[in-house]
Chain A
């Protein structure tokens, strides 16, 4: 009730005078043990505005929206909602006020149906029992209003990622809405679904809802953004107009550096072919008939949306995805379908995108993590036994080279920053002889300084004659470091671009279905 009155007020306010802000945040800080994730950030949101939050991974965007959505509590600072100071102590509380967030990580229960998920935690009851008929009708009404082609009775686990995202968005609309927070909502949507979402955003804008929108994509910023607030390393940098600020300026604000400083110059010297993938199809069909090649001394970029097959093709080469047909050749030797262990021995090293999930044993020390892939050889072993002295010396040397901060080899990996954890992951690949490195999202969640260090690390490997596969969703990264790029769409290689052909427009053209345009 209260929420609906408020929305009506806001709508009126939005049309008459220069409106009072919906949200006004001052000096917002969030301190985690050892890190200041958010450092006195100011932010305001007008009714009917799309306000973009822009910054690198780890800049504080996620922390910021999780506080505004009530999922996290600030260490410091005040939040005014419609002029009144509020303390958002739970997601539920924020929802009651009309602030709803759609996070990248879905909060859906896969075994439950669409409508059960929609009203999870806000079920309407009669005499203490679920009023299923009413819930069903309301679910249908919401889906119809949003124009989502979903059936309320379908189980969420059977939906595609895009459809699950729609459910997540629909959840925000189950009560009256004043602030909608969207965290990279188009990451897994097709062009057509994206257009639909943007239509929806226009619609709620007109109703006076304020939208906080996180994206990395320049084209989206132009299309729907009104203002952009840039964060870097947890600090507020600037708020600029979305229509008039150009890309170079945004990158400069985001990274604190101009593009040339961020990406090193690489001297490519393509030599003999190291890795060839011919007409590879995986059993799950997330890679279909894909052919790629990596030569010694070059960096080959793989671009495409999440789930487009760019990561899966490397995983299939490394024995992590079952191969249905096609051939993988390394050094003129057929290595199709070999296990990760065998592929390591052949000289192929795959570094996974998610350190916590697949890359590192978080509760063990840096030393144990670094040496793990090579415990069967010197300097880490003597015969069947571990050479603990040799291990200590070798890992110390590697971590000094990669500048681990603080240089404590015996500390659990969990207690390091994201950037330093990434250095530990990279160091693993230097413990043995490797000819082809596959870096899958190598700079996710690291600070700018480490990012530059990682790029230089990759350049050095390339110039030393290794073949590099660079798999990344960060487009500038792929554009500036690769001398050849394959663009993936729905498991297929849509295009191969070489040298001068590698431009943002050229790559993006192959990102989406073309029939929609």
Chain B
């Protein structure tokens, strides 16, 4: 919609059209989509624009936000990770099984069981990321094939481990603390998300590794000629992506109170959509952490708004897919504007 609004603008007469266009070129499609979404859902439902509901949106978006941060690493280097959903599932299953068995053996030490279980789950998920990294960085398998193949492998393992049945028996404290707990009135998962947002922001903007992400994604040959170990950069990228997906998987397990092999199926699409809507380039080398967070929040907002407006969940996936494609089309239009507007 924003595209058609701004299309007629000409740089010569600097009316509101021009400034809209400039805003579009500078910030991308996301601000426009956010404004449209807020207006539409406020009109559709009285409950949408309330403090309580917005807090709800933020809490529900935590899982996607953390996964999207990881996905952003992969996208910045010019790849992507289709196995994030599987990583969530495997983390959940392994974490829950280990936690339940440690807790079963030592019922008096719930804290220890939680720590060991969470660690095991996150380790399992990160391992998947490391396997992706080895495939992409060492054996030059395209990220598409590597992560698609691993998605199937990981999902199979998760189902095999559980026989398709949810894993019960985790200490009640796990869910109470990391799933439903609040601190000063704010749900605890939000703290975890904020911690990782800050950490990722710092890594991307203030470390050598962060800069190398952009260089490798922007021009891998130039990066190599500038003395960058592209192999290490790519490998670490997928490890980090796996790690973040695993953290998200553990948090979701706490919320569900069970280990499930069937969670995360929509994560690859949603996390890529969140990044792309936020202006992360599919060609690599372009993207900002703060925008990705907004992108994930936007998707959470749309899902929440559609729920309040009683839109059927089947139709919701239609909307999501459409938004992803719209974002890519808008990105193309934006590139054309940039070419015309450079000074």
Contacts and interface: CB of A to CB of B under 8 A. Distances in A.
Q: A and B: real partners?
A: yes
Interface of A: 33-34, 318, 320, 339-341, 344-345, 350, 352, 357-364, 368, 372-373, 375-376, 381, 384-386, 388, 415, 428
Nearest to A350: B225
A361 B215 CA distance: 6
- Best-surrounded residue of B210, B215, B226 (most CB of chain A within 10 A): B226
Closest 4 CB pairs of A and B: A361-B218, A341-B227, A344-B227, A373-B226
Given A320-B225, A350-B225, A428-B226, 15 more contacts: A33-B341, A34-B342, A34-B343, A318-B225, A344-B226, A358-B221, A358-B222, A359-B225, A361-B285, A363-B218, A363-B286, A364-B215, A364-B218, A372-B223, A373-B226
Contacts of B226: 340, 344, 372-373, 428
23 contacts: A33-B341, A33-B343, A340-B225, A344-B227, A352-B225, A357-B221, A358-B219, A360-B219, A361-B215, A361-B219, A361-B223, A362-B218, A362-B219, A363-B218, A364-B215, A368-B211, A372-B211, A373-B227, A375-B208, A376-B208, A384-B207, A384-B208, A415-B342
A118 to B, nearest CB: 32
A453 to B, nearest CB: 22
Interface in B214-270: 214-215, 218-219, 221-229
Given A33-B340, A415-B342, A359 B206 contact: no
A340 B286 contact: no
Contacts of B341: 33
B105 interface: no
Contacts of B222: 352, 358-361, 372
B206 A364 contact: no
Contacts of A428: 226
A317 to B, nearest CB: 13
B207 A386 contact: yes
Contacts of A33: 339-343
Contacts of B211: 368, 372, 375, 386
A33 B87 CA distance: 46
A341 B225 CA distance: 8
Contacts of A386: 206-208, 210-211
Contacts of A385: 206-207
Interface string B112-133: 0000000000000000000000
- Best-surrounded residue of A320, A359, A372, A388 (most CB of chain B within 10 A): A372
A339 B222 CA distance: 14
Contacts of B208: 375-376, 381, 384, 386
A96 to B, nearest CB: 30
A361 B283 CA distance: 12
B228 A341 contact: yes
Nearest to B218: A361
Contacts of A357: 221
A341 B218 contact: no
Interface in B179-229: 206-208, 210-212, 214-215, 218-219, 221-229
B225 A358 contact: yes
Interface residues of B, number: 27
Contacts of A34: 342-343
A312 to B, nearest CB: 15
Contacts of B214: 361, 364, 368
Contacts of A372: 211, 215, 222-223, 226, 228
B331 to A, nearest CB: 13
Contacts of B339: 33
B72 to A, nearest CB: 16
Contacts of A359: 222, 225
B116 to A, nearest CB: 31
A381 to B, nearest CB: 7
A372 B215 CA distance: 8
Interface string B319-343: 0000000000000000000011111
Contact of A341 (B215, B221, B229): B229
A384 B202 CA distance: 12
Nearest to A354: B221
A361 B285 CA distance: 8
A357 B225 CA distance: 11
B233 to A, nearest CB: 12
- Best-surrounded residue of A34, A339, A373, A381 (most CB of chain B within 10 A): A373
- Best-surrounded residue of B210, B225, B343 (most CB of chain A within 10 A): B225
Contacts of A345: 227
A428 B223 CA distance: 12
B219 to A, nearest CB: 5
B226 to A, nearest CB: 4
Contacts of A341: 227-229
Contacts of A318: 225
A77 to B, nearest CB: 22
A222 B122 CA distance: 73
A386 B218 CA distance: 19
Contacts of B224: 320, 340
- Best-surrounded residue of A385, A386, A428 (most CB of chain B within 10 A): A386
Nearest to A315: B225
A404 to B, nearest CB: 15
B137 to A, nearest CB: 15
A388 B218 CA distance: 20
A411 to B, nearest CB: 9
A35 to B, nearest CB: 10
A475 to B, nearest CB: 26
Nearest to A391: B211
A357 B222 CA distance: 7
A345 B226 CA distance: 11
A362 B217 CA distance: 11
A428 B219 CA distance: 15
Nearest to B211: A375
A34 B338 CA distance: 12
A428 B207 CA distance: 19
Contacts of B221: 352, 357-358
B271 to A, nearest CB: 22
- Best-surrounded residue of B206, B207, B208 (most CB of chain A within 10 A): B208
Contacts of A362: 218-219
A364 B341 CA distance: 17
A363 B343 contact: no
A364 B284 CA distance: 11
A427 to B, nearest CB: 12
Contacts of B281: 363
Contacts of B342: 33-34, 415
